Structure 1
Amino acid sequence: MKKTYLTALLTSTLLAGPALAQTTLTIESWRNDDLLIWQDTIIPAFNAQHPDINVVFSPSAPAEYNAVLNSKLSAGSAGDLITCRPFDASLELFNQGHLADLTDLAGMANFSDVAKSAWQTDDGSATFCVPMASVIHGFIYNADAFAELGIEVPTTEAEFYAALDKIKADGTYIPMAMGTNDQWEAATMGYNNIGPTYWKGEEGRKALIAGEQKLTDPQWVAPFEQLAKWKDYLGDGFEAQTYPDSQNLFTLGRAAVYPAGSWEISGFNTQADFKMGAFAPPVAAAGDTCYISDHTDIAIGMNAKSPNAEAAKVFLDWVGSPEFATLYANALPGFFSLNSTPVEMQDPLAQEFVSWRGKCEPTIRSTYQILSRGTPNLENETWNASANVIRGSETPADAAKRLQDGLASWYDPQK
Structure 2
Amino acid sequence: MISKSRLLCTSAGLALALTATPLLAQDVTLTIESWRNDDLTIWQNTLIPAFEEANPGITLNFAPTAPTEYNAALNAKLDAGSAGDLITCRPFDASLALFEAGYLAPLDDLEGISNFSDVAKSAWNTDDGSTPFCVPMASVIHGFIYNADAFAELGLEEPTTEEEFFAVLDAIKEDGTYIPLAIGAVDQWESASMGYHNIGPAYWAGEEGRLALISGEAKFTDEEWTEPLRVLARWGEYAGDGYLAQTYPDSQNLFTLGRAAIFPAGSWEIALFEEQADFELGAFPPPVPAEGDTCYISDHNDIGIGMNAATEHPEEARAFLNWVASAEFASLYANALPGFFGLSSDPVTIENELANEFVSWRETCESTIRPTYAILSRGTPNLENDNWLHASNVLAGTETPEEAAAAIQSGLESWYTPGMFDE
Give the TM-score, by structure 1 length.
0.89
Matched with 1:83 is 88
Offset, 1:40: 2.5
Matched with 1:6 is none
Q: Distance in 2 between matches of 1:350 and 1:183?
A: 26
Q: Distance in 1 between matches of 2:162 and 2:65?
A: 43
What secondary structure is seen at the aligned counterpart in 2 of 1:341?
Answer: coil
Matched with 2:252 is 247
Offset, 1:336: 2.5
Matched with 1:28 is 33
Q: Relative to 1, partners in 2 of residues 1:377 and 1:16: Cα closer, same or farther, differing over 3 Å? A: closer
Matched with 1:4 is none
Q: Relative to 1, partners in 2 of residues 1:164 and 1:58: Cα closer, same or farther, differing over 3 Å? A: closer
Q: Relative to 1, partners in 2 of residues 1:348 and 1:365: Cα closer, same or farther, differing over 3 Å? A: same
Matched with 1:258 is 263
Q: Relative to 1, partners in 2 of residues 1:259 and 1:68: Cα closer, same or farther, differing over 3 Å? A: closer
Q: Distance in 1 between matches of 2:78 and 2:399?
A: 45
Q: Relative to 1, partners in 2 of residues 1:230 and 1:57: Cα closer, same or farther, differing over 3 Å? A: closer
Matched with 1:377 is 382
Q: Distance in 2 between matches of 1:222 and 1:329?
A: 35
- Using the TM superposition, name which of 235-244 and 300-309 deviates more: 235-244
Matched with 2:371 is 366
Q: Is the 8 A contact 1:23 1:311 kept in 2?
A: no
Q: Distance in 1 between matches of 2:362 and 2:24?
A: 46
Matched with 2:235 is 230
- For residues 227-252 of structure 1, what are the alpha-carbon distances to aligned partners after superposition, in whole Å with 9 as ceiling and x for unaligned? 13323322324323332322222122
Q: Relative to 1, partners in 2 of residues 1:127 and 1:287: Cα closer, same or farther, differing over 3 Å? A: same
Check if 1:345 corresponds to 2:350.
yes
> AA paired with 1:398?
E
- Using the TM superposition, name which of 328-337 and 21-30 deviates more: 21-30
Matched with 1:114 is 119
Q: Relative to 1, partners in 2 of residues 1:71 and 1:168: Cα closer, same or farther, differing over 3 Å? A: closer
Q: Distance in 1 between matches of 2:312 and 2:74?
A: 17
What secondary structure is seen at the aligned counterpart in 2 of 1:336?
Answer: coil
Q: Relative to 1, partners in 2 of residues 1:72 and 1:174: Cα closer, same or farther, differing over 3 Å? A: closer
Matched with 1:186 is 191
Structure 2: give runs of 5+ residues left out of the alignment: 1-12
Check if 1:138 corresponds to 2:143.
yes
Structure 1: give runs of 5+ residues left out of the alignment: 1-8
Give the TM-score, by structure 2 length.
0.87
Q: Is the 8 A contact 1:23 1:308 kept in 2?
A: no
What secondary structure is seen at the aligned counterpart in 2 of 1:374?
Answer: coil
Q: Is the 8 A contact 2:93 2:377 kept in 1?
A: no
Check if 1:335 corresponds to 2:329.
no
Paired residues, what number?
410
Q: Is the 8 A contact 2:91 2:301 kept in 1?
A: yes
> AA paired with 1:148?
E
Q: CA RMSD in A?
A: 2.9
Q: 1:275 aligns with which of 267, 273, 280?
A: 280
What secondary structure is seen at the aligned counterpart in 2 of 1:83?
Answer: strand
- Using the TM superposition, name which of 82-91 and 51-60 deviates more: 51-60
Check if 1:105 corresponds to 2:105.
no
- For residues 87-127 of structure 1, what are the alpha-carbon distances to aligned partners after superposition, in whole Å with 9 as ceiling and x for unaligned? 33322221121211112323222223333222222333321
Offset, 1:64: 4.3
Q: Relative to 1, partners in 2 of residues 1:48 and 1:177: Cα closer, same or farther, differing over 3 Å? A: same
Q: Relative to 1, partners in 2 of residues 1:179 and 1:276: Cα closer, same or farther, differing over 3 Å? A: same
Q: Distance in 2 between matches of 1:235 and 1:97?
A: 48
What secondary structure is seen at the aligned counterpart in 1 of 2:332?
Answer: helix
Q: Distance in 1 between matches of 2:257 and 2:249?
A: 12
Offset, 1:275: 0.7
Q: Distance in 2 between matches of 1:74 and 1:386?
A: 34
Q: Distance in 1 between matches of 2:65 and 2:185?
A: 31
Offset, 1:395: 2.7
What secondary structure is seen at the aligned counterpart in 1 of 2:143?
Answer: strand
Matched with 1:307 is 312
Matched with 2:406 is 401
Matched with 1:213 is 218
Q: 2:203 aligns with which of 187, 195, 198?
A: 198
Q: Relative to 1, partners in 2 of residues 1:400 and 1:338: Cα closer, same or farther, differing over 3 Å? A: same
Offset, 1:68: 4.1
